Amino acid sequence: MPRRTPSSGRPKAPPSRGTQPRVGPLSSRLGDVPALNVDELLRDSSVRIMVCCGSGGVGKTTTSAALALRAAEQGRSVVVLTIDPARRLAQSMGLSELDNTPRPVPGIDASADGSLDAMMLDMKRTFDEVVETHAPPDKAAQILRNPFYQALSSSFAGTQEYMAMEKLGQLHAEASRRGRWDLVVVDTPPARSALDFLDAPERLSSFLDGRLIRILLAPAKGPARFLSAGMSLVTNTVTKVLGGQLLKDVQTFVAAFDTLFGGFRSRAEETYRILKDPQTAFLVVASPESDALREAAFFVERLEEEDMPVAGMVLNRVTTSAASGISQQAALAAAERLGEREPLTSALLRLHAERLSRVAREQTLQRRFAAAHPDVATATVPALGTDVHDLESLRNVSALMAA
Amino acid sequence: MPTCRTVLVPIIGRSVAARVGVRRCNNSREDGTQHLGNLDLVTAADASDAVRLHIVTGKGGTGKTTVAAALALALASGGKRVLLCEVEGRQGVASLFDVAPLPYDARRVAVGPDSGEVFALAVDAESALLEYLHMFYRLGRAGKALDRFGVTDFATTIAPGVRDVLLIGKVYESVRRRQHGTAAYDAVVLDAPPTGRIGRFLNVNSEVAGVAKFGPIGSQATSIMEMLTSPRTRAHVVTTLEEMPVQETLDATDELRAVGLRMGSVIVNSARTPELDDADLAAALTSSLDAEKVEQALAESGLGVDQPAVNALLEEATRHAERVELEREQRKRLDDADTPVVTLPYVADGIDLGALYELADQLCASGRF
């Protein structure tokens, strides 16, 4: 079941885009893959937030960095937020240190008057800053010392996703208020399941706002007789499973955190609102493999269900073949005829045949995806011989993406 | 509120009570420790040198689930019973074996060579928690009612580390599960979270330390950690011969060793055999292959081809040579590290059940499992 923001309890408006009745072939042009015009998207000044999502290992971080670089070199003021702990973005952008503060990326071509800042999310520091900013100093100190808070801020499975959204909200606010940036590009955490980053804020805020918290707070807040049966069941269970000390820590945390709840909830709602706004463009990143495309389909469907604006898909590592006019069958047959007499040429023909077979398989997968999701415009990036780790190769990737 | 009992519940699972008896103790921790001691004796009596738990991790996109499934098939050869567990709710195992989405109960998904059997199980934290509550507190229906108060949500998603303890707890129970007087499974293969999260996932002890150190979850974490760091558990890291997956593999092996796990193998997936010999590869790298000779041979083969076609073939040879060189560099980095490397070939037409058996065969042939 999709989770919704607390504000979205109203009946859902008819989907504005991308949903046709799922009956019969979805596209009259079965097999056509609509192309995504990356440069047009990057130049569109009404787009102020770009979110790259997709399953692990498909090149999300590289895609985010490449898009940010290209937008900056075309004249936009860009900040790119990455969440990946492997610091790959840092390598490709020539930064030795990527912390919670956006830093200028050296070496970009600023001739079009653009700029590029990059940062990596430090989830604990982001959470601490939220507490320090929004709680009175004595309460803040109390919260930061609480063992439950310390564990929550450094290892809760959803904290990373939550803080990514919190940081996106901050960057967007700074961009709007001070005009420091006109485009925020966000890489998303490697999701445990599709779109955890959409669910996590809602999950945390529904917890902070929910019945459990009220029950836990009840002893501190007055008559518990209306709650007593439910309360003892709940507190007994939490005690049994987690131990009494945790319950005490949670209770003190919640009591200290009480004043911050409203702020958390309203910021989560605000982030949801921004994500649904046409100023946001979601890009689903995938590679031409059945698993990655299946995940991509989940992402697209989920985003459309939430009325989030899907701009298209970036398909990385696509196999290409130099047009040689030799078919797979012809190449294999000729390799067979030449055999050992001409080992080099036979090998070249076999390589060519193998490449064509991969090209065909990937095209089939891509066509199937397009048949089920005919509205998802796609940009493809050919597989590269070498990995990306400098600005030049990143520029090359972005050029291929826009080609 | 009644005083907090010290409840030592070392195992999650349904057949626990029949097996070792559930120790509930209202006394001191010393007594609890004694019970744990008894349990250890039970375990020691069954101990064998064989590895019982294989943990498979790897960077996303390297074929971690495929390799875990192939490993389960390989281990099932010789008539063994093997359980394949997934914990990320992706249902990757079901789609590999082409079966309906897996429920919380183990179900047979394939037979291995020599009439072995592979069972699969998708563990989710919510079911594990309800099972846990049902087993130890008889909170069957009342447990479900807790949902309304957000308790299951709290325990499985918000309370730090508890989710992972519940997930691994189920795996732990499966390893120790007994049936008709012997181990229910000869081996358990865990399709674990990817390298970026594996250290934190497996280091359940430090995850719950500080929040649930003294509760039952804390005791559970200690028992799980003992099994994870014992000689009966091995961790394997799947990689492809590309820079980032190899870097993450090397980082993950360090991290896993630091947590106290023993490394099994680094499994190189999708390795390709060079089509050209070393001299031709070197020439292809510098684009200096003999174009005239290739053109002549092509004409001789009966393919009436022109200059652009020859150039295209040579261009593809250069791409191939670059790729081979990159793979060799990465292989050297793996070989220079101190974990044994096992290689699985690239499967040209996508992974299906038949391909899984071929990969399982390769794993058997490596002699490492």
The complex scores an ipTM of: 0.79
**Binary contact (A148, B211; C-beta < 8 A):** yes
Choose among A190, A204, A385: nearest Cβ to B158: A204
Per-position DSSP letters for A301-362, written without gaps between them: HHHHHTT--EEEEEEEEE------S--HHHHHHHHHHHGGGSHHHHHHHHHHHHHHHHHHHH
How does pLDDT run across B274-303, given as a tens digit for each residue? 999 999 999 999 999 999 999 999 998 888
CA distance linking residue A280 with residue B276, whole number of Å? 48
Res B243: pLDDT: 86
Res B23: pLDDT: 26
Q: What integer is the mean pLDDT of B219-248?
A: 92
pLDDT greater than 70 at residue A97: no
Per-position DSSP letters for B142-191, written without gaps between them: HHHHHGGGTHHHIIIIISTTHHHHHHHHHHHHHHH-EETTEES-SEEEEE
Res B244: pLDDT: 84
Res B10: pLDDT: 33
- Contact predicate A219/A116, CB 8 Å: no
Residue A31 pLDDT class (50, 70, 90 cuts) = low
Query: In A, which residues are within 8 Å of B143 by CB distance?
Result: 237
The helix/strand/coil state of B281 is helix
Res B38: pLDDT: 37
Q: What are phi and psi of B133, to 5 degrees?
A: -65, -40
Beta strand segments in B25-125, E: 53-58, 81-86, 107-111, 117-122
pLDDT-above-90 percentage for chain B? 50
Least confident of A241-250, A306-315, A339-348: A241-250
Computed on alpha carbons and rounded to an integer, the radius of gyration of chain A in Å comes to 25
Query: In A, which residues are within 8 Å of B298 by CB distance?
Result: 334, 345
**Binary contact (A215, B159; C-beta < 8 A):** no
Q: Give B136→chain A minimum CA distance, Å.
A: 10
Half-sphere exposure of B243 (CA within 13 A, CB side): 14
Return the residue of B nearest to A199 by Cα.
B157
Res B21: pLDDT: 27
Pairing of strands B117-122, B81-86: parallel
**Binary contact (A232, B317; C-beta < 8 A):** no
- Contact predicate A82/A118, CB 8 Å: yes
**Closest by CA position to B190, among listed B207, B170, B176, B220:** B170
pLDDT greater than 60 at residue A19: no
Return the residue of A nearest to B138 by Cα.
A237
Res B5: pLDDT: 31
pLDDT greater than 80 at residue B322: yes
pTM for the structure as a whole: 0.82
Q: What integer is the mean pLDDT of B334-358?
A: 91
What is the dihedral angle through the alpha carbons of A286, A101, B248, B273, rounded to the nearest 10 degrees?
Answer: 50
**Binary contact (A344, B294; C-beta < 8 A):** yes
Choose among A335, A347, A354: nearest Cβ to B276: A347
Q: What integer is the mean pLDDT of A210-238?
A: 62
Choose among B150, B161, B210: nearest Cβ to A212: B150
What is the dihedral angle through the alpha carbons of B260, B47, B65, B255, rounded to the nearest 10 degrees?
Answer: 0
Tokens of A178: 């001070």
Res A357: pLDDT: 92
Query: CA dist A127 to A134, A152, A162, A164, B349, Å?
Result: 11, 10, 9, 10, 47
